[in-house]
Amino acid sequence: MESSIGKRTNRQRQDAVLTPDQLATYSMLGLRPLRELKQGKPSIKIDKAKQAKSMFGYILAYEKDER
């Protein structure tokens, strides 16, 4: 299993045979947030990650860390 949301999103983009430009257009995001997501930037806005994942039929859920 891939370790980051960005890596999984990039793999899904490639599986869908979309260029980064096409994903940016279809998800109504800019290239910069997609690039930052792919690179694993820790400070990316959660709404941008949710928007990119929703393109592939996924939702991001929050859960409390019980450690």
Q: What is the pLDDT along the chain (67 residues), one digit of tens a residue?
A: 445 778 888 898 899 999 989 988 888 888 888 888 888 887 777 778 777 877 777 766 666 777 7
Total structural domains in the chain?
Answer: 1
Q: Say whether 64 sits in a helix, a strand or coil.
A: coil
What integer pLDDT is reported at residue 3 of this predicted model?
A: 53
Cβ atoms of residues 6 and 38 within 8 Å: yes
pLDDT for position 57:
78
Its domain, for residue 45, covers 5-54
In a domain, 14, yes or no: yes
Alpha-carbon span 55 to 5, nearest angstrom? 13
Q: What is the pLDDT of residue 14?
A: 93
Q: Given this model, what pLDDT does residue 10 score?
A: 87
Question: Does residue 37 fall inside a structural domain?
Answer: yes
Instruction: Confirm whether 67 is domain-assigned.
Output: no
User: For residue 19, is it within any domain?
Assistant: yes
Q: Counting Cβ atoms within 10 Å, is residue 64 exposed (0-12), middle (13-18) or buried (19+)? A: exposed
